[in-house]
Structure 1
Amino acid sequence: MTAREYDVIVIGAGAVGENVADAAVQGGMSTLIVEAELVGGECSYWACMPSKALLRPASALRAAHDVGGAREAVTGGVDPSAAFARRDRIAHGWDDSAQVRWLDKTGIALLRGLARFDGPRQIVVAGDDGAETPVSARHAVAICTGSAALLPDIPGLADIAPWTSRDATSARTAPRSLAILGAGLVATEMAAAYASFGTEVTVIGRSGVLRGQEPFAVELVTESLRRSGVTVRTGTEVLSARRTPAGATLELSAGDPVTAEEVLVATGRIARTGDLGLETLALPTGDWLDVDDTLRVRGFDWLYAVGDVNHRALSTHQGKYQARAAGAAIAARAAGIPVDDTPWSAYAATADHSAVPQVVFTDPEIATVGLTADAATAAGRSIRILDYDLSWIGGATTRADDYRGHARAIVDEDRGVLIGATFAGPDVAELLHAATIAIVGEVPLERLWHAVPAYPTVSEVWLRWLEEYRGTGT
């Protein structure tokens, strides 16, 4: 059968693949996107959007409880069924027709099915009906298949049919009890969400909560989880799992066993590259793909790996950033335009190395960008740490009666610029982009002195940091 030919083929129609395809089309290239599940991918249906939808009701309720005058009007707790119904609306009922219409409008061709390489630039797509369609790319193929939940090799774990993050975000009802393996971002967010639904939650972490975050942020989140009724057990690991009449029982290396109606595995991610036929390209299957800063797989002049699949920064927003760089590079190379891959060019995903923003939507929110104090020290930077209690700021006082939060800035003393920031507190995600801009722009702190924060807002923390840095204050 003669293969259909396109300038660019994108494997995976999640947010990352959509952005690569859009950039290619904008560059005047005929583009095909291949998707085996839903157009819109993990973020739209099983990750970012539904998870934040499940967390929001409790967040809104806490905000009301934090303010006298609103607190008195609150008469109940989170309604799980209403929360799930709202989540369904935000996930569009797992119907991707709106995003398919966007592909049509944009001029991106869609082929549904599983993609498998059959040689350089050659792909066979197997549809649900078993039919196979060969396609080929004139210029580039971009792998945007993302990552999947890692299932640890624990005796009996697979037999109890544990939840992954997909199950947790798409569940129809809240279980009576939930044991969560892992203590990272997914684990803490889902612990917070399900605890708000009345589920008895136990978090089991081999190491600490939110490993790699600033200690003050870890302490605030751990304390909040425990206040909400979550049992947090760290320094232990699951030895085995089995189903009993009471539920799933987990034997631990330290302490008593844990029994729960459902078990959520949130111990990490693996690359979704195992069934792509990468062996035909002499690439290992099931591994993360190594790329340069233009997202081109090393050793190839036509193959790109964008988003989670390259393991540079596992987040939707960073994947979309990579997609913009990769799409621009693909179009430029196809047109014979030299690609500048030096730091901060339009074709290089430079921010992956030093300015990756992340938000953990727990109570309190944790918003970070750049390096922590420990990471900066380990990197040999000469740093100064600026700490400030957010409750001392006027904007915090008007926002809540008992505001609790903290902010830390990491300054590179040799250059006088910000290289890291961590915020912990209510709605601090909205403070993050200013820090990201300061780090990416390498704005001198002396210039930031002239960026005046509005009063009364929590953004005044910027002024307080600078006052501390200058040795002044009010």
Structure 2
Amino acid sequence: MTEAVEYDVVVLGGGPAGENIVDRTRAAGLSTALVESELVGGECSYWACVPSKALLRPALARSEARRVPGLAGAVQGPLDTEAVFAHRDYWTGDWKDDGQLDWLDSVGAHLYRGHGRLYGVRKVAVTSPEGEHHILAARHAVVVATGTRAVVPDLPGIAGARPWTSREATSSRRVPGRLLIVGGSVVAAEMATAWQALGSRVTVLVRGSGLLPRMEPFAGELVSEALTEAGAVVRTGVAVEAVVRDGPAGPVTVVLEGGETLEGDELLMATGRAPRTEDIGLETVGLTPGDWIGVDEGCRVPGHDWLYAVGDVNHRALLTHQGKYQARIAGAAIAARAAGSPALDEGRWGAHAATADTEALPQAVFTDPEAAAVGLTLAEAERAGHRVRAVDYDLGKVSGAGLYADGYRGRARIVVDLDREVLLGATFVGPGAAELVHAATVAVVGEVPIGRLWHAVPSFPTISEVWLRLLEAYRG
């Protein structure tokens, strides 16, 4: 029997959420062990946020530069794909986690490489790649931060077609001549933008009515228009029934409902995420393997006062920044309970409650144009029973936008709670729009009254002047 090694906290999963738990618990003076089966830094650092933005930044910068008089003529050629790939590889550390290991050493956390599984109450069993076995016992908390994996639907022929998921789409060193993308969410929209700019002929197949279905409808519409103008094909209301790959390196064919076929050189299935919980020992503590892990506002698993789940795995908000936010909340709660605090601040906007997950969730999509939003859409606010008014403004009519780029196209919307005269949500679509969303996040979280926002004067001439125009439109 392997003797258990004791720590105050054991963290299962070394992505951004797990790393932030380590950071917060170590800062509180707790001994912490981290278990990771792949690269410390997780999906975001190596196959999602970081490499995708490295691929997208040259595409967006070129697009914007082409709209600036005096500069447009200098940026008419194709992207230097090798330089783009080298830039991406730099930001992923060439898919090595040496820098993350240095950070772990600097905070005094102990890393266990290998597959970790819950082993009953307050215990985690780890099997290393070399076959060594360790039992880790947690005095105060075990935190599950194992994240998600891409879902590939079980279509006829899909296994032999070897489709890309987000991992291959962000790490490929070859530009496919023709790229078929199935899906309409952020991964589909961003990867369509990146690979179209790198030279692929992109076709996006969306089962629903449009791209970016979780945002205001105009966001997906503007992104779809821009992709179409760039040469991509965006088709909505279509479903894939089967997939065929012609040989190990041959073209791939998708069969649509009704029998129509489309051929490409690669196929990206951007069709959702599932929790990485199928083999982490949930059954040893009475939970169901493969399920999302339900948590309370403090990210603690109900009925298990020692067990927490942070990040994608709890299904509250599948975004890196929200996972890190949850880790800060849970880390503070773990530290407070370890110190014997008699009561925690778990009320709305309390120090130990992840209120932003449901009331002020921000997101930025790095398409061309960018789309960014926080809080509730108009439809969500109405479904929740709020008495609201949406105020829209053409971003292209803002002086700062016209100076930013000729022919600037975009749109902004705020959703106002008419009973309290505070913002419930805001959406911005346009070049550079991702930098507008944090001001809206502060307004939503702070529940800043419209009358007070009137005194938050935007600098001239910036795109942020849209705030003044939105408030003027609201006041009439």
| Bucket of the pairwise TM-score, normalised by the shorter protein | over 0.9
Give distance in 2, aligned partners of 1:41 and 1:74.
35
Pairing partner for 1:432 from 416, 429, 437: 437
Equivalent residue number for residue 310 of structure 2 = 306
Deviation, structure 1 residue 150: 0.7
Equivalent residue number for residue 38 of structure 2 = 37
Equivalent residue number for residue 333 of structure 1 = 337
The answer to whether the Cα contact below 8 Å between 2:255 and 2:262 also exists between their aligned partners in 1 is yes
Q: How does 1:356-435 map to 2 (within 5 A)?
A: 356-435=361-440
Counterpart amino acid of residue 324 in structure 2: K
Deviation, structure 1 residue 257: 0.8
Deviation, structure 1 residue 254: 4.2
Equivalent residue number for residue 103 of structure 1 = 104
Equivalent residue number for residue 179 of structure 1 = 180
Counterpart amino acid of residue 276 in structure 2: R
Equivalent residue number for residue 4 of structure 1 = 5
Deviation, structure 1 residue 386: 0.8
Give distance in 2, aligned partners of 1:286 and 1:21.
25
Give distance in 1, aligned partners of 2:353 and 2:461.
39
TM-superposition CA deviations, 1:403-438 (whole Å, max 9, x none): 111100000000000001000000111100000000
Counterpart amino acid of residue 265 in structure 2: E
Distance 1:354 1:77, change over 3 A: same
- Equivalenced residues, count: 471
Give distance in 1, aligned partners of 2:239 and 2:475.
46
TM-superposition CA deviations, 1:22-52 (whole Å, max 9, x none): 1111111100011111111111111101000
The answer to whether the Cα contact below 8 Å between 1:33 and 1:108 also exists between their aligned partners in 2 is yes
Give distance in 1, aligned partners of 2:226 and 2:193.
9
Stretch of structure 1 that moved more, 260-269 or 242-251: 242-251
Equivalent residue number for residue 231 of structure 1 = 233
Give distance in 2, aligned partners of 1:438 and 1:75.
40
Give distance in 2, aligned partners of 1:234 and 1:470.
38
Pairing partner for 2:281 from 277, 281, 305: 277
SS of structure 2 residue aligned to 1:139: strand
Distance 1:230 1:323, change over 3 A: same
| 2:19 equivalent to 1:18 | yes
Pairing partner for 1:352 from 334, 350, 357: 357
Give distance in 2, aligned partners of 1:254 and 1:389.
40
Give distance in 1, aligned partners of 2:157 and 2:131.
33
Equivalent residue number for residue 458 of structure 2 = 453
Stretch of structure 1 that moved more, 360-369 or 211-220: 211-220
Equivalent residue number for residue 74 of structure 2 = 73
TM-score, normalization: structure 2?
A: 0.97
SS of structure 2 residue aligned to 1:386: strand
% identity of equivalent residues: 56
Give distance in 2, aligned partners of 1:416 and 1:427.
28
Q: How does 1:237-252 map to 2 (within 5 A)?
A: 237-244=239-246, 246-252=250-256
The answer to whether the Cα contact below 8 Å between 2:123 and 2:142 also exists between their aligned partners in 1 is no
SS of structure 1 residue aligned to 2:321: helix
SS of structure 2 residue aligned to 1:410: strand
Equivalent residue number for residue 195 of structure 2 = 194
The answer to whether the Cα contact below 8 Å between 1:385 and 1:411 also exists between their aligned partners in 2 is yes
SS of structure 2 residue aligned to 1:297: coil
Equivalent residue number for residue 210 of structure 1 = 212
Equivalent residue number for residue 83 of structure 2 = 82
Deviation, structure 1 residue 74: 2.1
Deviation, structure 1 residue 75: 4.0
The answer to whether the Cα contact below 8 Å between 1:162 and 1:262 also exists between their aligned partners in 2 is yes
TM-superposition CA deviations, 1:251-279 (whole Å, max 9, x none): 11146211111111111000001110111
Give the unaligned 5+ runs of structure 2: none
Distance 1:123 1:333, change over 3 A: same
Give distance in 1, aligned partners of 2:420 and 2:367.
34
The answer to whether the Cα contact below 8 Å between 1:84 and 1:173 also exists between their aligned partners in 2 is no
| 2:137 equivalent to 1:133 | no
SS of structure 1 residue aligned to 2:447: coil
The answer to whether the Cα contact below 8 Å between 2:66 and 2:76 also exists between their aligned partners in 1 is no
Distance 1:184 1:98, change over 3 A: same
Deviation, structure 1 residue 126: 0.6
The answer to whether the Cα contact below 8 Å between 1:237 and 1:254 also exists between their aligned partners in 2 is no
SS of structure 1 residue aligned to 2:424: strand
TM-superposition CA deviations, 1:380-403 (whole Å, max 9, x none): 111111110111111111111111
TM-superposition CA deviations, 1:99-130 (whole Å, max 9, x none): 10101101111111100122111111011111
SS of structure 1 residue aligned to 2:403: helix
The answer to whether the Cα contact below 8 Å between 1:81 and 1:173 also exists between their aligned partners in 2 is no
